[in-house]
Every structure is written in structure tokens, then in C-alpha cells.
Amino acid sequence: MNPNIDISIIIVSYNVKEFLHQCLLSIEKAINNISVENFVVDNNSIDGTCELIRSKFPNIKLIANSENLGFGKANNIALQKAQSKYTLFLNPDTILQKNTLEVMLNYLETNSKVGLAGCKILNSNGTLQLASRRSFPSPLTASPKLLGLSKMFPKNKFCGKYNLTYLDPDKSYSVDAVSGSFMFSRTKLLKELGGFDETFFMYGEDLDLCYRMQENNYEIHYVAKTTIIHYKGESSKSAPFDSILNFYKAMDIFVKKHFSRGYFLLTTLLLRLGILGHFFGRFLGKFINKIKIPITDFLFIYLSFIFAIIIRFDETKWFFDYQPVILLYTFIYLILASFFGLHNRKKIDFIRAFGAIILGGLINGSFTFFMPFIAYSRIVFSISFLFILLFLPGWRIIYYLIIYKKIQNKSYTHRTIIIGAGPEGKRIAEIITNKPELGYLFLGFVDNDFENPQTISTINNLTELIKIKKIENIIFSSDKFKSADIMRLMGKIQHLPVNIKIVPENINLIYGKMHIEKLEDISIVDIDYNIYRPIPILTKRIFDIILALFLLLFSPLIYLVKLISRYKTSKIEINNYSIKEWHSSNNNEIKLSWYPMLSSIISGKMSFVGDLLHLPNNIKTRFYKPGITGLAQIENLKQITMKEHQRYINYYMRNYSLMMDIEILFKNMIR
């Protein structure tokens, strides 16, 4: 221990750079004449947290972990290095009052029986955060909270015992536990107890530490003389794990660890079942919210068949006989709706709904007209098709006109990032920031350096950033990132539900596919590659597999030709996997060099039509999987420049269709 250091402040951070910045500034104002050593333990953030600490706060002791170790373990790493008399565990999304450190230091100095203390914690809207003071989750205290009685009767001692809502929040007193977002304790005592129990990844470790403190005859106090603000949940928003699951898992660990020996099995079981039931209630609510669109579609399709049967037969007795065929047709309609992106897109798309229903009608119609055992009634099928064609796009149009526009009028915004922090990117950011009615919530830049304070991640972490921050819109600024970079990045993020746009340098037009919008002096058009859409992906994959399996039927004959011609097998290393091809002893071109590649096509490593198999030395980037043939291969260019290669593959990916693949294969056969 170092007697010259009063307090060690330990902050564990994960992707909350902006909140951490404000927190550290508030600490500087609260230090006064107190000697402080400050630790920031970063759990592998991707938002430039470490760069911020090194550049803006060089005196802070930064511990940069290579992975997310969780709350307890990360705190313990810094605790082992702490040299002060007292330690403050502090969340990064908090702001201290100027007197906070002084009040807490004096309180523990004058109350020797207190091992750990917390202060009054406010939410960002000024209300008291209930976790500021609480009881341990025994069956008697936790049951009213799990049943919702604590919200109904907060001032009742029995109902409000878990969060002590019946006590005056402006007075200090002894409690069972305080919030892990602010825990002020004695460093020597913390080290004797081993710090936090690392069994808890996130949540529950604060309760456990308070419990062990009291087992060692120390008191836990709530101190109302100072206040902090806690933007609750900011770190858990960025967590790649399910924070709800971790919360209930932590509660279960706590109950099992501390109460199973002291309570009858039945009461412990009831508490754990209550925790489990509450978790599944939350999970069920989230699940229903995710499937509400397909459920709505299902109900309208089913309703369409009911109407069709009533119109056809003027009675409902046939309804039960039609159940098998109704379920079959409904399943096909829903599958096609999903492939058209109607169930996983954030925007309501009634145009795609028309396309999905028409294609579904053609498929189901083929059953009706060509499979007699399914053809219960062609009239029922036709009438139901018309109703479905009305209902599925119809409810989307009504939703858009009535509800969606109301949301838009309330300045509902889409979470947006800009790729490139150059002059053009800054210009776009300024426009969408100053015009909230455009519907863009600008979160920051993605760039390969953190010179701009609004840069929140690097290009290498783009995929993780989209998932963590729930990004909806990506705008590319091509003064720093060219079309080749965009093509490569789109291949990495094409499976994620984001809208991609681009602003070329020095012109006020964003190139793209269909949708055009105006941002002051800039026209924005969404960009997309046809080959990344669900239906083309499925169509191309099925075509590749069927054609490859068909050609494999000729294997005995082909391998006989190989034997006679004395072809040898060699391997090509592409993107960390091997592809086989044949070559002759004198290395002359052979007609069947591609035949052993069929297995790679079936496995999905290759396609019949795709990028160049052998990239020239002057081309380093592959934008799509290699193919036996393709647009560039048909031209049979002995030399191809990087721009020519990019132009060929860009055109193919944008305009892909099954007929294009067939045409390319046919031309390759002729050549």
C-alpha cells in the first residue's frame, strides 16, 4: 500500500468511449485535494477507447485486454495493482458531483464498521435509480418484485423491500447491497476477500461482494449526501452477449451459492423458478416482437382461404377438409415472403410483397393444376390468391400511411454511420446532424485512424460494429474509400440487415439501385448488388449444385479420358482453401481442366460463373468467389488491368441473373 494515495478509481470500459470521456472529466473536477490513481480496464473495445485514453488522459493507468473478460475479472486485474487506502469501482457511463470523492472518503474514515458504501444514483432523467440501495434476493424479498407488486405498492414495506422503496432516499442508512456502478470500499479488505467472484460474467457480482462483506462482519451503507448520474445500461447495450440472459444467470448463481444451504429446497426452488419464469417472459416478449410480421402474414393468408371457401361453397363445413392444402400453400407463401426479405427488413416494403405473392401463386398454382390429389378446388385457390394479393401488400400500405408516417413525423431516426472521415464525410455528417427531420441518427465515422473524435471504429471492425450498435444505414464517402473498397466490404456485410449508400467525391449524387432521397443539396440513392439478394443467392446455389451433380454422372467417361490423356492433378490455394484442377504433362491447356472443381462448386467454395480463377500479379483483391468461367474469362484477355477486372466483376455482381449465368456458360462452350 502507498500511504500517499487516497483512492484508486477502477473503471471497466466496453465500447462507451463518449460516456467514458465525460466520466473522466467529471473525476478530474471531483479530485480537489485528494490523491487519486485512476485505472481504466478496457475489454477489447472497437470504438477507439484506448486511443482516447492514450491521447487525452496520459496519466491514467490503461489496461487493454485482448478480449472481453467480463466485469468482475476486469476489475480484479486493476484491484491487484491498486496501492491506495480506498478503492472506487465506477461504471464508465456515470458523472460524479464535485464533492462525491470527498464525501465518500470522509464517510468511511468516520465509520470504521462500514466495509463498502454506495451513494445516491440518479437516472439521466433525474429519477432515483432503484439499484442504489436494495436487499438480497431471498424468497420473501424477491417474490413481490418478480410478481410486479413492488411497482404497484412501492411504499409498502413488504412489497418494496427488495429496492427499499419505502425508505427515504435522502437519508443515509445500512442496507444489504448497493449498485455495482458505484462501490466505494477499503482496498485491503477487498484484496482479503479476493475482489469480485469471477464466476459472474456481468451482473450479480456486486450483490455477491456485499454478501461476503457482511459475512465478514462489515456493514454496507447507502450514503445520500452525494449524488451521481448513471446512464444505466450503456455498456450492456454494446455487449456481444445477451445481457438479459446474463442477468438471470447471475441471479441463479447467487441464489445457489448463498441460499441453498440456508433455506428449504422448496423455497429455493420457487425463487429460481420465479427468476426463470421472469426471464422466459422477457424472452417471449422479444420473440413475439420479432415474429409479429410473419404471424400477421400467416393470419391474413389463412383468412384469405376462409373467405375463399365461404364464397365457393356458401358454408364452412369444407373448412376442416381443406386444412392440409391450406397449410401447404401458406407455408410456401411465407417461405417466399422471407426470401424476398419481407420478414427481416426494417422498412415496410409492399412492392416486394406483390412479387412474393405472385411467385407463390405460380408455385402453388402448379400444384393445383398438375397434382390432382392437391387440387381440391381451383376456384378456392384463385379466390384466395386474389385476397392474399390484396391483404399482404394492403396491410403494409395501410401501416405505412397511418403508423409509419406518424413515426416519421415524430422525427424517428435510423442509426447511421459514415465510412470515411474525410472532407466529404464531414460534409454529409453536418447535413444529417443539422437536419433531424431527414431521419438519420448520426452515430459516428468509421475510418482507419482516430484523428477525428467522432470516429467510433475502424474498417476491420465494421461487421462487429454493425451488430453492437444496431446500425441501420451505412453511407460511404468515396473521397477516402473507392468503389473497390466498397465492393469488398459489401461482400463481408451483405448478410446483415443494413441499407448501404454512397456519396462520390465532389458531386452531389449518391449512386445506387432504386430509392432516391434528397439531403439538402445531395441526392442519395441506395446501392445494392443483385447477387447478394436472397432469391438470386438461392437460385444461383441451386443451379450450381444441380448442374455439378448432373456433370458428375459422366465421371467414368471423363476419368477414362483423363487416364488416356495422362492428365495430372494439381492444387490451387485460394482464400485459405484448396481447389483441384487437371493439367497435361507439357502444361498445355486441356479441355477438362475444370472437372475436379465440381466438388468445390457443390461445397460452395466456387461457382460455375464467378471471378477469375487465377488472379494476375497486378490484382490483389478478389471481390467474389472464383468461377470456372465469367465475363472476364469469356474475353480471354492475356493481360487484364485492375480497373478492367473491377469493372467486369462489378457489372456481374450488380446485374446478376440466372439467365446471365446460362448465357455466359453457353458463350464459354462456343469459345
DSSP symbols for 481-532: S-HHHHHHHHHHHTTS--EEEEE-TTSSB---SS-EEEETTEEEEEE--GGG
Where does a domain end: 409, 441, 470? 409
Q: In terms of domains, do 46 and 123 share one?
A: yes
Decide if 266 is inside a domain: no
Which pLDDT score is estimated for 464? 82
CB 119 within 8 A of CB 104: yes
Q: In terms of domains, do 576 and 524 share one?
A: no
CB 466 within 8 A of CB 496: yes
Q: In terms of domains, do 195 and 312 share one?
A: no
Q: In terms of domains, do 563 and 581 share one?
A: yes
- Which CATH number goes with the domain that contains 432? 3.40.50.720
Grid coordinates of 570: 494439381
Decide if 389 is inside a domain: yes
Q: How far is CA 535 from CA 330, 338, 346, 355, 493, in A?
A: 19, 10, 18, 11, 17
Which pLDDT score is estimated for 143? 67
Q: In terms of domains, do 75 and 203 share one?
A: yes
Q: In terms of domains, do 141 and 172 share one?
A: yes
Q: Give Cβ neighbours of residue 301 (< 8 Å, ≥ 6 apart).
A: 329, 330, 333, 334, 384, 388, 391, 392
Grid coordinates of 210: 456485499
Give the residue ranges of DSSP H helices in 82-133.
Answer: 100-110
DSSP string, 212-266: HHHHTT-EEEEEEEEEEEE-TTHHHHT-SS-HHHHHHHHHHHHHHHHTTTTS-HH
Q: Give Cβ neighbours of residue 254 (< 8 Å, ≥ 6 apart).
A: 137, 200, 204, 207, 208, 211
Q: In terms of domains, do 59 and 196 share one?
A: yes
Decide if 557 is inside a domain: yes
Which pLDDT score is estimated for 309? 85
Decide if 2 is inside a domain: no
Instruction: Specify the 3-state DSSP secondary structure of 38.
Output: strand
CB 88 within 8 A of CB 190: no
Which pLDDT score is estimated for 671? 63
Structural domain range at position 450: 414-528
Report how far residue 384's alpha carbon sits from residue 333's, in angstroms, rounded to the nearest whole number.
Answer: 12
DSSP string, 556-592: HHHHHHHHHHT-EEEEEEETTEEEEEEE-TT----TT
Sign of CA dihedral 96, 97, 99, 104: negative
- Beta-carbon count within 10 A of 480 CB: 18
Q: In terms of domains, do 101 and 187 share one?
A: yes
Q: In terms of domains, do 517 and 546 share one?
A: no
Decide if 267 is inside a domain: no
Decide if 281 is inside a domain: no
φ, ψ (nearest 5 deg) of residue 165: -70, -10
CB 208 within 8 A of CB 197: yes
Where does a domain end: 465, 500, 528? 528
Instruction: Specify the 3-state DSSP secondary structure of 36.
Output: strand
CB 8 within 8 A of CB 82: yes
Q: Would you say how long the chain is, in residues?
A: 671
β-pairing, 86-90 vs 182-186, is antiparallel
Which pLDDT score is estimated for 242? 43
What are the residues facing 640 on neighbouring strands?
A: none
Q: In terms of domains, do 574 and 495 share one?
A: no
CB 562 within 8 A of CB 582: yes
- Residue 312's closest CA among 244, 384, 365, 366? 384
Decide if 269 is inside a domain: no
Number of domains composing the chain? 4
Q: How far is CA 657 from CA 412, 466, 536, 544, in A?
A: 36, 29, 7, 13
Q: How far is CA 545 from CA 250, 536, 669, in A?
A: 47, 14, 19
Full-model pTM = 0.59
Q: What's the Rg (C-alpha) of the chain?
A: 32
CB 477 within 8 A of CB 425: yes
Q: In terms of domains, do 62 and 201 share one?
A: yes
Q: In terms of domains, do 196 and 82 share one?
A: yes
Decide if 294 is inside a domain: yes
- Which CATH number goes with the domain that contains 82? 3.90.550.10
Where does a domain end: 361, 391, 409? 409
Report how far residue 671's alpha carbon sits from residue 668's, in angstroms, rounded to the nearest whole number.
Answer: 5
3-state helix, strand, coil in the chain (%, to 5): 50, 20, 35
| Side chain identity, residue 187 | T
Instruction: Specify the 3-state DSSP secondary structure of 457.
Output: strand
Which pLDDT score is estimated for 221? 95
φ, ψ (nearest 5 deg) of residue 373: -70, -15
Report how far residue 379's alpha carbon sits from residue 187's, in angstroms, rounded to the nearest whole number.
Answer: 80
pLDDT mean values, one per 10 residues, the chain (671 residues):
86 88 90 92 88 91 89 90 93 91 94 92 82 76 68 76 82 89 93 84 78 90 91 53 48 65 56 66 75 90 89 72 84 85 69 84 78 71 90 87 59 78 85 74 85 83 83 80 69 75 51 42 59 80 89 81 70 69 60 77 88 77 82 70 76 80 79 63
